[in-house]
Amino acid sequence: MIIWIGLAGVLGALVRYSLGKVVSGKLGTAFPWATWVINISGSIILGMLYGGHQAGSLPDAMWVVWGTGFCGAYTTFSTFGYETLTLMGQQRQARAVIYVVSSVVVGILGCLAGVWLTA
């Protein structure tokens, strides 16, 4: 199973990189939109996986492979922290607060929406 988790992780990292480039190209980098979009969509995906697993329609192995492998590599807490500190270092405290609060609140709502979508 560890190989499948690793392969799903490779896929998650590739999708994250590709989507990050697209989002940054379209929305710019004054606000960390790429990481925000990736983390929110990852929360929705993880919520859907969790909901499917809880409903019994997603086997344990698939939950572990996609939840740990793909979502673990796709979402990025370290970049979130780095970008928050960067905004603060640029004296953009309001943006940093908006980034942190919206990431947490919308991320949790996204996860709940994912669970709801699979119910």
93-118 and 33-55 are packed helices; what angle lies between their axes, rounded to 10 degrees?
A: 20
CA distances from 78 to 21, 60, 82 (A): 18, 27, 6
Q: Is the Cα dihedral 76, 82, 85, 89 positive or negative?
A: negative
Query: 69 a known binding residue?
Result: no
Q: Is residue 75 part of an annotated ligand binding site?
A: yes
Burial class (CB in 10 A: 0-12, 13-18, 19+), 85: exposed
Around 66, how many Cα atoms within 13 Å sit in the side-chain half-sphere? 18
List, as residue ranges, the binding site for Na(+): 72, 75
List, as residue ranges, the binding site: 72, 75
